[in-house]
């Protein structure tokens, strides 16, 4: 009996992978000379959940890679923990054990025919740098570029690099939604400044990579949430445009146009004015963005959901749903928008809209508006779900996840059929992992992890993935 439903086959040579991030899977945060990230003390104090053991990928990567190969994956997204290489973030003598670990990990990937796609910064700023302002401190840009250059030279076995993961999620979660340390709410100046500084860091890392003349590809990852007015009034459309500029357009412009277009800056300035905020662009920043804008070899697009908004002028405030208590989210951004639910669109327990059409809209928009954006990989897409473990002998039934992924791959293939160059899809996530602001009950994996015993179990989505992967064979 086949599990395939909507999508019946994948294009030949399609990249089909699973995604991970160092801090979410490795565990072992205190071993082998690893330095602290911005999360360690914060999570300890918060006391809700710990980043240890996560999925113990630090020790169990051989098993996860074996499973990956068995279930038809040909690629994996991993990230390097900056603090395993340079414990306080500043480049000096590298921590040998950290370097060794990543060599072994990449070697193991290649041994299984699984291509590693490697991110240098996935939400895990070294604590020592975080304490000095994180991306708001321009010195971190220099430190990041030094660290990136070290990795480029040290790991020639890696030929697919992403500089930074989801610049907006980090900036937004840190300074707008208050869900990531330092947990500020609606600190608009910091949020926009962090986005800009991260773009500069990315651009400089790309240029450094090209200067080294290495054989490989480099890009960055943005999560894009298309924003739609809940009803088509001019006010609501303007709210959607403002929010879109803040979370999507500013970053896409900076990455692929090498400038913030006038239209984008009109919207950004309106948001800044209304919120007494400002953005500082240092001399030379725009030159870096311009120079790098044509140098990205590929683009990693993360897509989970869209947003519906209406106009809003009241005070800012938000409630973050970090437990899966459906219907508890709220988001109101002064002078920008209020997020609203659309009764016609289903949501997950964490109030994320399930809207595959949005992926098609984003792909076609980027390909039309950003000509410097060449090949695209979907570097994250997936569904947070409270998977139910029944017994060790029973495959975990995560049919809603299969349905979600099936619909999104269908949307991707539709955009591809219309000429958008999408070459791969990474499910978030490979195995169940630790979720930054949600802990362990928000599962995404193809493989179920019993976090007590660290045993892996197969979910139905893994069987489905395997069938899908087999369609690429002759």
Minimum Å distance from CB 412 to ligand BGP? Answer: 18
> Considering CB under 6 A, how many residues would be counted as binding ligand BGP?
15
Query: Rule CB under 6 A: which of 13-42 touch ligand BGP?
Result: 21, 24
Member of 223, 257, 268, 405 binding ligand BGP (CB under 6 A)? 223
| Catalytic residue (choose from 26, 172, 198, 380) | 380
Distinct helix (H) and strand (E) counts, the chain: 16, 15
Q: Which residues contact 414 (CB under 8 A, 6 or more apart)?
A: 360
Which has the closest alpha carbon to 55: 324, 453, 385, 458?
A: 453
Member of 255, 353, 438, 461 binding ligand BGP (CB under 6 A)? 438
Please confirm, yes or no, whether 380 is among the known catalytic residues. Answer: yes
Residue number of the CB atom closest to ligand BGP: 435
| Catalytic residue (choose from 26, 166, 198, 338) | 166
Q: Which residues contact 210 (CB under 8 A, 6 or more apart)?
A: 218, 295
Minimum Å distance from CB 12 to ligand BGP? Answer: 29
79 contributes a contact to ligand BGP by CB under 6 A: no
Member of 158, 437, 446, 462 binding ligand BGP (CB under 6 A)? 437
442 contributes a contact to ligand BGP by CB under 6 A: yes
Stretch touching ligand BGP by CB under 6 A, among 44-52, 165-173, 293-301, 419-427? 165-173
* Cβ neighbours around 284 below 10 Å, total: 9
Question: Under DSSP, is residue 220 helix (H, G, I), strand (E, B) or coil?
Answer: strand
Which has the closest alpha carbon to 336: 264, 277, 274?
A: 274
77 contributes a contact to ligand BGP by CB under 6 A: no
Query: Rule CB under 6 A: which of 361-380 touch ligand BGP?
Result: 380
Please confirm, yes or no, whether 26 is among the known catalytic residues. Answer: no
Stretch touching ligand BGP by CB under 6 A, among 93-101, 184-192, 433-441, 466-474? 433-441
CB 290 within 8 Å of CB 338: no
Stretch touching ligand BGP by CB under 6 A, among 90-98, 161-169, 196-204, 264-272? 161-169
State phi, psi for 287 to the nearest 5 degrees. Answer: -65, -40
The stretches of 336-398 forming alpha helices (DSSP H) are 357-369
CB 113 within 8 Å of CB 469: no
User: Whose Cβ is closer to ligand BGP: residue 260's or residue 434's?
Assistant: 434
How much helix, strand and coil, in percent to the nearest 5, is found in the chain? 40, 20, 40
Question: Under DSSP, is residue 118 helix (H, G, I), strand (E, B) or coil?
Answer: strand
DSSP class of residue 34?
A: P
Residues annotated as catalytic are 166, 380
Binding site for ligand BGP (CB under 6 A): 21, 24, 165-166, 169, 223, 302, 380, 384, 428, 435-438, 442
């Amino acid at each position: 009996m086949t599990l395939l439903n909507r999508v019946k086959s994948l294009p030949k040579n399609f990249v089909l992978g699973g995604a991970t991030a160092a801090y979410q899977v490795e565990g072992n945060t205190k071993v082998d000379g690893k330095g602290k990230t911005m999360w360690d003390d914060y999570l300890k104090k918060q006391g809700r959940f710990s980043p240890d053991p996560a999925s113990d990928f630090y020790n169990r990567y051989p098993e996860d890679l074996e499973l990956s190969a068995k279930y038809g994956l040909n690629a994996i997204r991993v990230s390097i923990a900056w603090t395993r290489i340079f414990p306080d973030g500043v480049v000096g003598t590298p921590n040998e054990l950290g370097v060794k670990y990543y060599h072994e990990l990449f070697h193991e990937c290649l041994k299984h025919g699984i291509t590693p796609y490697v991110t240098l910064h996935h939400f895990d700023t070294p604590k020592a740098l975080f304490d000095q302002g994180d991306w708001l401190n321009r010195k971190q840009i220099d430190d990041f570029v030094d660290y990136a250059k070290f990795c480029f030279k040290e790991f020639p076995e890696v030929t697919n690099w992403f500089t930074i993961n989801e610049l907006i999620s980090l900036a937004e979660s840190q300074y707008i939604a208050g869900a990531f340390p330092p947990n500020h709410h609606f600190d608009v100046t910091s949020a926009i400044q962090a986005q800009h500084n991260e773009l500069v860091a990315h651009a400089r890392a790309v240029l450094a990579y090209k200067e080294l003349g290495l054989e490989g590809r480099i890009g960055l990852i943005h999560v894009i949430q298309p924003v739609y007015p809940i009803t088509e009034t001019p006010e609501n459309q303007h709210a959607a445009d403002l929010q879109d500029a803040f979370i999507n357009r500013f970053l896409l412009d900076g990455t692929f146009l090498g400038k913030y277009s006038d239209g984008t800056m009109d919207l950004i300035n309106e948001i800044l004015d209304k919120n007494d905020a400002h953005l500082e662009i240092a001399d030379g920043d725009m030159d870096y963005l311009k120079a790098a804008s044509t140098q990205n070899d590929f683009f990693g697009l993360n897509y989970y959901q869209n947003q519906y908004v209406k106009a809003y002028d009241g005070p800012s405030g938000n409630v973050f749903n970090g437990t899966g208590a459906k219907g508890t989210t709220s988001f109101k951004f002064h002078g920008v928008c209020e997020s609203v639910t659309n009764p016609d669109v289903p949501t997950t327990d964490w109030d994320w809209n399930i809207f595959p059409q949005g992926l098609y809209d984003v792909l076609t928009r980027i390909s039309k508006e950003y000509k410097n954006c060449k090949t695209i990989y979907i570097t994250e897409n997936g569904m947070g779900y409270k998977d139910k473990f029944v017994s060790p002998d029973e495959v975990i039934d995560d049919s809603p996840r299969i349905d979600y992924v099936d619909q999104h791959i269908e949307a991707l293939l539709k955009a591809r059929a219309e000429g958008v160059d999408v070459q791969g899809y990474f499910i978030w996530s490979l195995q169940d992992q630790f979720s930054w602001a949600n802990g362990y009950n928000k599962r995404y994996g193809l493989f179920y992890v019993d976090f007590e015993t660290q045993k892996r179990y197969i979910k139905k989505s893994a069987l489905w993935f395997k069938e899908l992967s087999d369609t690429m064979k002759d």
